Structures are given as C-alpha cells and as structure tokens.
Amino acid sequence: MIRDVEVLVIGGGPAGLCAAQAAAGAGAHVLILERDDVPGGQLVKQTHKFFGSERQYAGDRGIFIGQMLVEEMTNHPNVEIMTDTTVLGIYEDGVVTALKDEQHLKFRPKKIIVATGAAEKFLTFPNNDLPGIYGAGAVQTLMNVGGVKPADKVIMVGAGNIGLIVSYQMLQAGVDVVCVVEAAPNIGGFLVHASKLRRAGVPICTGWTVKEAYGDGKLEGVVLCRLDEKWQPIEGTEIKVACDTLCLAVGLTPLAELCWQAGCHMEFIRELSGHVPVTDENLMTSVEGIYAAGDVSGIEEASSAMVEGRLAGYAVAVSLGYDVERAQKEVEAARAELVELRSGPMGGKIRAGLAKVAEKRGGASC
Amino acid sequence: MANNADKDTILCRCEDITREMILECIAEGYQTIDEIKRVTRAGMGPCQGRTCRLLIAQELSRAYHVPMEEVLMSTFRPPTKPLTMGALADAWLSEYDGDAAISGRAIDGKEGGNGE
C-alpha cells in the first residue's frame, strides 16, 4: 500500500521541524519522518545558548528550542511525526520508501523537503580505529543525552564551534581536556567559545595535527606534530601526549544521498563542506517538488538551518496554494533573515559557497 | 606510494579497509570510487560509505591530480541502509494479500525452475 502524503519532511531536526511548522501553519498537511527515536536532531544535545536574533531563538539553549518545536509539532493537528523511521529511497516516480520497526513503508508525497542534516568527517592517521577515538557528536551524545562521562583525559581535534563547545562541555562534566589541536593557522569557531576554554586554561594549538595514535587494544595517547604553511608535517616537532580519548571535530559534510538518488543536480562546493543539491531561491532542487533545507544543502549553524526550514516550508505552502499572500511574505522575510545571519566575517565562506551554487544553477538552466 | 603507516590507517571503518589497500587499487589503475568499492567492499558496510566516500575521493584527487569538484561520485541507489530480506518480503506479501495465486506461487517457488 502506498500512502498519499501532502508534504513529506525527511528529518526531524531544526530544519525539518521549522519546515513543518511553516507548511502546517499555512494549512498544509505534513508528515515528518525521523530516523532517531526522538525528534529534535542535534538540538537534543545542544546545551549551549544560540546566537542570532529573537526570531531565531537567540539566547535560548538548543535543547529547549528543540523541545519547544517538538512539542508544538506533536500537538499540531496538521502534523504527524513518525520516529524510528529511516527513509531508504526516493524513486523516479516520486515514491519514497522507509523502514520502521522492520516494516517497509511506501509514501507518495506531493512535495518533499529533504532535511537530513549532516554526517561527521573522519580523519586518517595510523591506528585511527583504536577504541577511545570518537567523533565529537558521539561524545556529546554520551555526555548530554546519556549522562555518561565520556573520558578522563581527552584531546580534542578541531577548533571549530563543535570542537570548542564540546571541549567546554567536557570540562563542565569533569573531564581533563589536555588541549584542542587545530590544523589551520586560525581558530575556526566563534571567539566567545574559544575564550571560555582559554580562561579555563585549555591550550588551543593552531597549526598542529595528530600524526598517529598509539595504545595496546585501546587508546593510550597520540603523537602530535606541527604543520608548515603548506599543511605538511614538520619533522622533529613530534610530541607524545597521553590521553584515553581522542575526540574528532573535523567538520561535517552534507548527508545528501537521497538528493543524489532523486536525481537532483549535485555539485561539490568546498565552502559548503561537500556535495550539495543545487537549489533555487525557494530552496527547491533541480527536481520539481523536492526541496532541501538545513545542513544537507551546505554546512552552517543551526540558526540558519531553522530559517532555511521555514523558507522551504512556506515556499511549499505557496506552491500548494495555502495562505499564499502571507506565506509569500514569510518566504521573503526568511530570505532577509538568512542574508542577515550570513553577513559579517563569519559568513564569508557561506556567501562564497552560495555564490557558486547560484552560478551552477545559472549554468544548468540555460 | 604506500608506507607502513598506511597499513594501520583505516579509511572504511565498516569493512576494515586500510589506506594501503586503497592506494594499491589506485596503483593497479582503478580510477573511481565505485571501482574501488567493487574490488574491496569499501563503502558497502552498515554506513554505506558515509564516512569513507570522501576519504577515498581525496585519495583519488591526490593520485590523479583531479580537483575534488571533478572526482566522479559513486552511484547512489536505495536503500540508504541495509535492511532484511524479510522486511521486503513482508511488504510484498501484505501488498498482494488476498491474491492467493501470486502469494502462493511466491511461497511454493513452483515457478522457480530450480532444476528438479
């Protein structure tokens, strides 16, 4: 049996929830499919406060923003959330298949909003499979969702926002954070997060990387080394540092496999951290009726993901003829908010990436 | 190209494929992620290449002096994660429930022609 769905949102994280909120708010019927057993995406473990403006819930902690959105969507008469449901495929005829409780389900949506988020990148060095080497996301889940102290003595790799925030949260959990290692010459994350770590006495070593890990059956330490300006290891700078955990926060990459499957025009955009679907100003991909919002269309902060979700949700409402006048105004408001969020020096990379996307779109359509 | 360190460096965690094995494939002339997948199983485990795909692309980019933008990606097909044959069979049976001829045939395997 194929179930007809008006708007199918794939992924119940910040982008997906805000997309559902917008589309359902305008009158559309929305089904959210969420892989995890609880909706909320990465918000469920984000105990830090958000930036941005009031409309993006600035000053609130991610976890509370998530709870508020989930509660609102759970109680919304036009919204249904199916958890523990992994989307398996988007087929040429528009049918979407999913797996829930070992059951193979089929849906035929009028519109699809892909909000599948991102996956963590991994690093290659000898013995990178020793137990004790984690992605920062896993450490954050253990700590903030599971209530488990993830390490006694940790080295963090990556001084982007995730690396900085998770390091600070580990300090709060009583973990000895030896140092944060960053291959780039500069700290990538917000300085407000970096400053908190520095005030607590944690060194942030820019221009350093992990050369190898060592240990008998489990991680016992790592060899760090300095990098030259061409990112090559400088011989003779190796130092051995003991630790029981190495936490990798070396970036995210868009989880866009469903867009690939659906035949969307995809491009590798360095500034957006991987292959992304080429979208238009309504966040619609090159495939009619399939939209992409949040990290899946380029890695950014959760605030931008929420606004993108809202944009896509209202754009879908307009295309379905719901509350068109107001929804169209909301689409334009969301676009303006995104411009504001991406202004300033921290948004430079995103702006460059999006300019490339616009260029690719132009090239493809003529 | 490969050295001792590459023996201990994992690129595909699900299938335990080392950097050394990937570099050997490249030395033998394999040029795409899909080719390397077919000979090594890299990317065929539970995560379906989510971790190793870009790492292998980087190795190809480096070896063939092709920018990442131009490295040919693998083909993406459903399902995005492994599922049991049972789940598919249950879906098929429930869809054709009531059509005894079809479901009966499928279960008996009479149409199978397995050389009896």
Quick: pLDDT tens for A86-139.
999 999 999 999 999 999 999 999 999 999 999 999 999 999 999 999 999 999
- Checking DSSP bridges between strand B10-12 and strand A133-135, what pairing results, if any? unpaired
Mean pLDDT of B79-93: 89
Q: Which chain A residues are Cβ-neighbours of B18 within 8 angstroms?
A: none
Residue-range domain boundaries for chain B: 4-70, 83-116
Judge whether A291 and A315 are in contact, CB under 8 Å: yes
> For position B67, what pLDDT does the model report?
97
**Is A63 found in the same domain as A130?**
no
Q: Which chain B residues are Cβ-neighbours of A99 within 8 angstroms?
A: 79, 81, 83, 87
**Is A44 found in the same domain as A145?**
no
Mean pLDDT of A235-251: 97
Question: Which residues of chain B form beta strands (DSSP E)?
Answer: 10-12, 17-18
Please give the residue range of the domain that contains residue A64: 2-119+252-365
Local confidence band at B98 (pLDDT 50, 70, 90 cut-offs) = low
**Is A210 found in the same domain as A142?**
yes
Distance CA A307, CA A51 (A): 13
Handedness of CA A74, A80, A83, A88 (dihedral sign): negative
Distance CA A197, CA A193 (A): 7
Distance CA A210, CA A196 (A): 24
Judge whether A302 and A46 are in contact, CB under 8 Å: yes
Mean pLDDT of A7-28: 98
Instruction: Please give the residue that has the higher pLDDT: either A302 or A364.
Output: A302
- Choose the final residue of a domain: A231, A248, A265: A248
Distance CA A139, CA A166 (A): 8
- Kindly tell me the number of DSSP H helices and DSSP E strands found in chain B: 6, 2
Cross-strand pairs, A222: A213, A241
Burial label for B97, CB within 10 Å (0-12, 13-18, 19+), is: exposed
Q: Cβ contacts of residue B54 below 8 Å, gap of 6+?
A: A121, A253, A274
Local confidence band at A249 (pLDDT 50, 70, 90 cut-offs) = very high
Which amino acid makes up residue A228?
A: D
Q: Which of A3-17, A58-72, A85-99, A293-307 has the lowest mean pLDDT?
A: A58-72
Find the CB nearest B80 among A87, A212, A274: A87
Total of domains in chain A = 2
**Is A175 found in the same domain as A112?**
no
* Contact assignment for B86 to A102 by CB distance below 8 Å: yes
Q: Which of A72, A92, A56, A84 is nearest to A340 (CA)?
A: A56
**Is A241 found in the same domain as A126?**
yes
Q: Which chain A residues are Cβ-neighbours of B79 within 8 angstroms?
A: 88-89, 97, 99
Strand ordering across the sheet containing A208-214: A208-214, A221-226, A239-242
> For position A54, what pLDDT does the model report?
72
Q: Which of A172-176, A278-282, B80-84, B111-115 has the lowest mean pLDDT?
A: B111-115
Mean pLDDT of A349-356: 96
Distance CA A246, CA A131 (A): 9
Q: Which chain B residues are Cβ-neighbours of A121 within 8 angstroms?
A: 54
Judge whether A18 and A309 are in contact, CB under 8 Å: yes
Distance CA A344, CA A161 (A): 17
Burial label for A76, CB within 10 Å (0-12, 13-18, 19+), is: middle
* Contact assignment for A89 to B73 by CB distance below 8 Å: no
Judge whether A93 and A262 are in contact, CB under 8 Å: no
Instruction: Please give the residue that has the higher pLDDT: either B114 or A241.
Output: A241
> For position B99, what pLDDT does the model report?
54
Local confidence band at A41 (pLDDT 50, 70, 90 cut-offs) = very high
Reported CATH class of domain B4-70:
mainly alpha
* Contact assignment for A125 to B55 by CB distance below 8 Å: no
**Is A89 found in the same domain as A200?**
no
**Is A95 found in the same domain as A141?**
no
Structure-block tokens of residue B73: 């990606």
> For position B10, what pLDDT does the model report?
96
Give yes or no for residue B21 having a pLDDT over 60.
yes
- Peptide bond before A233: cis, by omega within 30 degrees of 0? no
**Is A243 found in the same domain as A128?**
yes
**Is A165 found in the same domain as A207?**
yes
Give yes or no for residue B108 having a pLDDT over 60.
no
Local confidence band at B110 (pLDDT 50, 70, 90 cut-offs) = very low
- Choose the final residue of a domain: A233, A248, A263: A248
